[in-house]
Amino acid sequence: MTGFVDLRDIRLAYGPGGDGTLALDGLTMAVQKGEFAAVVGPSGCGKSTLMKLATGLIRPQAGTVEVAGREVNGPVSVAGMAFQNPSMLPWRTTLQNVMLPLEIVEPHRRRLSAERAAYVERAEGLLEMVGLKGFGEKYPWQLSGGMQQRANLCRALVHEPQLLMLDEPFGALDAFTREELWQVIRDLHAEKGFTVILVTHDLREAVFLANRVFVMSARPGKLIVEQQVDFPRPRPIDLTYEADFNDIVHELRGHIAQARAAA
């Protein structure tokens, strides 16, 4: 089935001429428009490589990558990205950091000067949605780690991407802050309707947030399991303590243990 994000028969090896470490081999997966998908698997299985492929940062030696019906041959303008390290520029305020993609991504770059007031309003609206109303003039060093990651999500969304790629965005945070941000991204997804691919080692995070969880094999990575997650939305955080939820978490853990053992 063709998806909004569609990877078919991907082979990718690092090193000169693609003769080095084989990261992915025979990877095929499709994520539908508006879906929240999570990708899990053993360390080094190629989860982050998959993210770079879908955003056009790297190209495979074999296979095809399509986003929004177009083959990916370079950076994908319809995508926003957020990583574990927020990497906020320390000399810019929070609002200025959030607005950074508007200075880079067309057509916003072309419109920014003439429509700055509208763009500022959009950025401030996102900050309010994630609980940072009134923090736009603060500098990164004046924010906690959790607040910086909230601003990082706003920066990834300010140009209204159709696809949001999340690479371990909450991994460096404490458990309580992490759960708070799960609920923030849950609500942003419900409000905006963008497609999400979340790369994570946290199986509770994957099951709480995703409609489907893709499990990858050990390197070279390929898809070995698709786990549907049918809990109704919006999902309360208390769901993570229920037996049915933890049954799925344990099942996924079993698949990953088998993948590691087969490596």
pLDDT in tens, 129-157: 999 999 999 999 999 999 999 999 999 99
Give the separation between CA 251 and CA 239, rounded to whole angstroms. 17
CB 10 within 8 A of CB 60: yes
Mean pLDDT, the chain, rounded, equals 92
Is the confidence at residue 1, as pLDDT, over 60? no
pLDDT of residue 262: 74
Structural domains of the chain sorted by starting position, each given as residue range(s) with its CATH number in brackets = 5-78+162-262 (3.40.50.300), 88-160 (no CATH)
Q: Please state the rounded mean pLDDT for residues 188-207.
A: 95
pLDDT of residue 17: 64
pLDDT of residue 82: 87
15-41 per-position pLDDT tens digit: 776 667 899 999 999 999 999 999 999
DSSP H or E run through 128 = helix 116-129
SS3 per residue for 18-85? HCCCEEEEEEEEEECCCCEEEEECCCCCCHHHHHHHHCCCCCCCEEEEEECCEECCCCCCCEEEEECC
Q: Please state the rounded mean pLDDT for residues 239-248.
A: 97
Cα torsion 185, 235, 163, 188 to 10°: value is -40
- 202: confidence class by pLDDT, cuts 50, 70, 90: very high
Q: In the chain, what percentage of residues exceed pLDDT 90?
A: 76
Using the Cα atoms of residue 107, residue 150, residue 194 and residue 77 in order, give the sign of their dihedral: positive
User: What residue type is assigned to position 177 of the chain?
Assistant: T
Q: In the chain, what percentage of residues exceed pLDDT 70?
A: 97
pLDDT of residue 18: 60
- 174: confidence class by pLDDT, cuts 50, 70, 90: confident
